[in-house]
Amino acid sequence: MTSAAIRTNTHSKFDKFTIYLPNGKTLTGISHIPAPDPTSRSRPLLIGVHGGTCTSQYYDVSPEYTASAFSSSYSVPFVAIDRPGYEGSTPPSLDPSTTFWQATGKLLHESIFPLLWNNFGVSNGCTHLVTTSHSMGVAPTVVAAALYADYAKNGAKHTYPFAGCIFSGFGISRNIPRDWSKVEVGDVVSYPAELRAPMGLSEPELNLGDPAVGELYGKQAAGMPLDEFKELHTWSGYAEKYMERVEIPVLIAFGEHDWLWEASEEHLNELKGLFRRSKGAETVLIRGAPHGMVLSYKSGEWYRMCFEWAKKLEKPEG
């Protein structure tokens, strides 16, 4: 597990949690459960899946930049996990035939999402489960969504109602070349401030976010598991075989000034085409936004889009 990240929102409305999985592994994260809206028939459980070198705190940077504000306004429970291998969450078990993201996706589908549904969804009157995954959190969520579709084909009854996935800031092979020579590689991988800062908010001259928020994002830095870092060179080789199996609706997004990926309609359409079995694949390019959209001046626009998209979905059959 990586070192503990700093909690930058000193007025956080989130509660920390620790859940013990059936296989003896541990899952940590944060949750915000607002009062229900008696006039609404839709109440999704929205789960945040962070990217590399981040933790669940990515969704709770400061009082002004937090998912909890939108969780309250939409009366939608929001749970952000520390992905396996980060913070207090046990790393996934690997064998020679399984990659880090494949193992994490399997863990999400078989253990984590069912437990989150039972612990936070059922007891709070939720109607369905939706994920919003950022950057490196996208890949294992794609794997989980594919396994969810496979599970139904085998005649088994689902233990959680996976209704849709939101993916932001992650593609396959159309990434922008960068100089990664300053990345510190050991048992965990660390990104120096001069790389981490533009990854979140792009170049300062673009003025896409408050520099103070960028500083808080820097304080949240967590080491990346080495096995995840290696996935940057392998994901493109097996991504499509999982993407083409996903059947639930997906929303794919990039910020216009994404520092890591080519943020274009062409790239979005390319990704959309790979989700060929999805019951509804949508794309959006957020103008004036960086890679870390929740850190930027477009944070509110992006959060509203996520919560509204999640609410419009319906409980899947089976």
Largest separation between any pair of C-alpha atoms in the chain = 54
| Sequential pLDDT tens for the chain (318 residues) | 655 668 999 999 999 999 999 888 999 999 999 999 999 999 999 999 999 999 999 999 999 999 999 999 999 999 999 999 999 999 999 998 999 999 999 999 999 999 999 999 999 999 999 999 999 999 999 999 999 999 877 777 899 999 999 999 999 988 888 888 889 999 899 998 888 889 999 999 999 999 999 999 999 999 999 999 999 889 999 999 999 999 999 999 999 999 999 999 999 999 999 999 999 999 999 999 999 999 999 999 999 999 999 999 988 876
Query: Residue 318 in contact with residue 158, Cβ under 8 Å?
Result: yes
- According to DSSP, the residues that pair with 17 across neighbouring strands are 29
pLDDT at 23: 83
> What single-letter amino acid sits at 19?
I
Cβ neighbours for 177, distance < 8 A, ≥ 6 positions apart: none
Predicted model pTM = 0.97
Q: For residue 179, what are its two tokens?
A: 């100089």
C-alpha to C-alpha distances, 143 to 99, 200, 207, 235, 244, nearest whole angstrom: 11, 25, 35, 11, 10
- According to DSSP, the residues that pair with 31 across neighbouring strands are 15, 79
Query: Residue 247 in contact with residue 147, Cβ under 8 Å?
Result: no
Of 227, 245, 247, 267, give the one whose Cα is nearest residue 164.
Answer: 247
Task: Decide the pairing of beta strands 188-190 and 78-81.
Answer: unpaired
pLDDT at 1: 60
Look at the block and give the residue holding tokens 């859940």: 19
What end-to-end distance do the CA atoms of the chain give, in Å?
A: 35
Q: Where are the beta strands (DSSP E) in the chain?
A: 15-20, 26-32, 44-49, 78-81, 128-134, 162-168, 184-185, 188-190, 224-225, 250-257, 281-290
- Per-position b or e across 196-225, b if 16+ CB within 10 A of its CB: bbbbbbbeeeeebbbeebbebbeebbbbbb
pLDDT at 259: 95
Query: How many Cα neighbours within 13 Å face the side chain of 218?
Result: 14
pLDDT at 315: 85
Query: Residue 210 in contact with residue 41, Cβ under 8 Å?
Result: no
Please report, to the nearest 10 degrees, the dihedral formed by the alpha carbons of residues 98, 57, 67, 21 taken in order.
Answer: 50
Cα–Cα dist 116/47, whole Å: 9
pLDDT at 180: 86
Task: Decide the pairing of beta strands 281-290 and 250-257.
Answer: parallel
| DSSP, residue by residue, 76-125 | --EEEE--TTSTTSPPPP--TT--HHHHHHHHIIIIIHHHHIIIIIGGGT
> What single-letter amino acid sits at 240?
E
